[in-house]
Amino acid sequence: MAIIQLLDRPKNIIYIVWDGDTTAEKWLDQARQLVAQPDWRAISRLIADVHTAANPDTIGDKAMEAVAALFGTQLETVRKKRIAVLASDLFGRTRTLSTLLAPLGVSMVVFNHLDTACTFLGINPADTQQTLEQLRLKLRSEGS
């Protein structure tokens, strides 16, 4: 298990789910794939659900600095995005990333609850939960 993402251009959102063992290398690969997507520039909202990720200590400061640097290469793009992260056990680590991204003008907020994250993004919580759960199930079925 690792990371899965879905870009939904009609809904103007990117969904990301982390599940199980997620390493810094997997995250960096996912971030590189994300910014390489043709729709990356056009989509203005992103929700990342990392609350079922295992081994949060494997995501260290260097990985967060690398992702912040990657986003920093696309300042005009990331400044237009609103990013919500659902993060229970990774809350503190994710706040560190938010702090690193703040000077770039990135609007990233870390949440414990889906409803408040959806309010921040202006999206439907029921639809979002369904999409995130479908992605999590897909990730788990591919990892079996």
| Chain segment 80-98, per-residue pLDDT in tens | 889 999 986 665 667 777 7
Cα separation of 99 and 10, whole Å?
30
For the segment 39-51, what is each residue's pLDDT rounded down to a tens digit? 998 999 999 998 8
- What's 49's domain CATH number? 3.30.750.24
Whether 108 and 133 have beta carbons less than 8 Å apart is answered as no
**Per-residue pLDDT at 129 exceeds 90:** yes
Domain region containing 138: 3-143
For the chain, give the mean pLDDT: 87
Total domains, the chain? 1
Count how many Cα atoms sit within 13 Å of the Cα of residue 143 in the half-sphere of its side chain.
Answer: 15
CA dihedral sign of residues 65, 133, 121, 38: positive
Q: What residues contact residue 130 under an 8 Å CB cut-off, 6+ apart?
A: none
- The residue-averaged pLDDT of 52-72 equals 81
